[in-house]
Structure 1
Amino acid sequence: MSLLNISYRLQETAGKDKQNEDSGQVTAFYLFGSYAAGRPTTMSDIDLAVLLDKSIERERYLAERLRLMGELSTILGTDAVDLVVLNESPPGLAYRVIRDGELLFAPEEGKGQLVDFKVRTMDRYFDFQPAQRIFSEGLARRIREGSFGGGLQLIGDTVPPRGMLIVLLQ
């Protein structure tokens, strides 16, 4: 399936979504991964990311993701669709999507939300870089020393907050 074909079909989906008052609004659709890079293989799935309208409550993200995945699978004619909700994605993934992905759909009325999301994503991503660098250096050191997989090794004698560990491991 070509990038143009995927783009056209996504615009069709988003247009239907907009006409249905019961469904959530899509602020943006991105294509990322091997299709966006122009290197899909027979094993490639179609990696898509959606930015949902800010009026949608966080509790509805999963339902919206599942609903959109069903529609996208039907419209694209394949079950090999992976959909990420950008509103709740980790900073690294969101940054890679906006940096390397192809913006396929963004209605004019949602452009302000998209710009706000991009700014917040870049802020979160670059704020996290020092911690990511420490983690990556520690991981590389543990691999070189042969201690990778032997349990958590701390830098110094401080224990990072639980949330920090989860973010670092994503």
Structure 2
Amino acid sequence: MKKLVSKKDIVNNDKLKKLFERYKDIRIVYLFGSFAHGMEGILSDIDLAVLFDESVDHKKRFQLQLELIGKLVDILEVEKIDLTIINEATLTLKYEIIKANTPVFVRDLEDKIDFEHYILSRYLDRRYYEKRASKEFLERIAKTEI
């Protein structure tokens, strides 16, 4: 197995693009984590995230995830691959995935823009209320004698 893979090897990989193109239910695939940020090390795994069409149910997504991991291992010649299903990820993880801004495959650019806008606006809305609630909580604690 090949051990050294770079961000460029992943993002510019025609075999990966062809693989994802064959799966009509795949809308977008992102690279995220240490490889996306150029911070990979010898022990790093490759973090990929796939967004499936909304019509694909949980069971089918899981089957596709297992199938894709096997094919990704063969194409990239590495064993440490983590394939996240974006459809099932938390809002915070979805934000981290799009924040890395490293798409590997995009079926429809307009769809990608809409998806990222939706996640970004939901995340920023939630973050505002979480910060406000945290501030109020800390102010209440500060007023309480310990």
Q: TM-score, normalised by structure 2?
A: 0.76
Question: Kindly tell me: are residues 73 and 61 of structure 1, through their superposed partners in 2, closer, same or farther at Cα, counting changes over 3 Å?
Answer: same
Q: 2:144 — aligned with what?
A: none
CA offsets 1:136-164 (integer angstroms, 9 cap, x no match): 9869x99xxxxxxxxxxxxxxxxxxxxxx
SS of equivalent residue, structure 1 residue 5: helix
Question: Kindly tell me: are residues 77 and 89 of structure 1, through their superposed partners in 2, closer, same or farther at Cα, counting changes over 3 Å?
Answer: same
Displacement of 1:88 after TM fit? 1.9
Q: 1:18 — aligned with what?
A: 21
- Counterpart code for 2:127: Q
- Counterpart code for 1:33: G
Superposed counterparts of 1:99-114, under 5 Å? 99-107=99-107, 110-114=108-112
CA-atom RMSD in angstroms:
2.6
Alpha-carbon distance in 1 for matches of 2:76, 2:136: 41
Alpha-carbon distance in 1 for matches of 2:86, 2:135: 24
Displacement of 1:96 after TM fit? 1.3
Question: Kindly tell me: are residues 61 and 137 of structure 1, through their superposed partners in 2, closer, same or farther at Cα, counting changes over 3 Å?
Answer: farther
Alpha-carbon distance in 2 for matches of 1:136, 1:63: 43
Greater relative contact order (Cα < 8 A, sep 6+): 2
Provide the aligned length of Structure 1 versus Structure 2: 135
- Identity over the aligned pairs, expressed in percent? 30
Question: Kindly tell me: are residues 95 and 137 of structure 1, through their superposed partners in 2, closer, same or farther at Cα, counting changes over 3 Å?
Answer: farther
Question: Kindly tell me: are residues 17 and 99 of structure 1, through their superposed partners in 2, closer, same or farther at Cα, counting changes over 3 Å?
Answer: closer
The match for 2:7 among 3, 10, 21 is: 3
CA offsets 1:31-50 (integer angstroms, 9 cap, x no match): 11111111111111001111
Gaps of 5+ in 2: 142-146
CA contact (8 A) 1:32 1:102 kept: yes
- Counterpart code for 1:16: L
The match for 1:117 among 115, 118, 121 is: 115
Q: 2:124 — aligned with what?
A: 126
CA contact (8 A) 1:33 1:101 kept: no
Gaps of 5+ in 1: 143-170
CA offsets 1:66-121 (integer angstroms, 9 cap, x no match): 111111111111120011111221111111111124112213xx223222211221
Alpha-carbon distance in 2 for matches of 1:137, 1:47: 36
SS of equivalent residue, structure 2 residue 10: helix
CA contact (8 A) 2:31 2:100 kept: no
Alpha-carbon distance in 1 for matches of 2:94, 2:29: 12
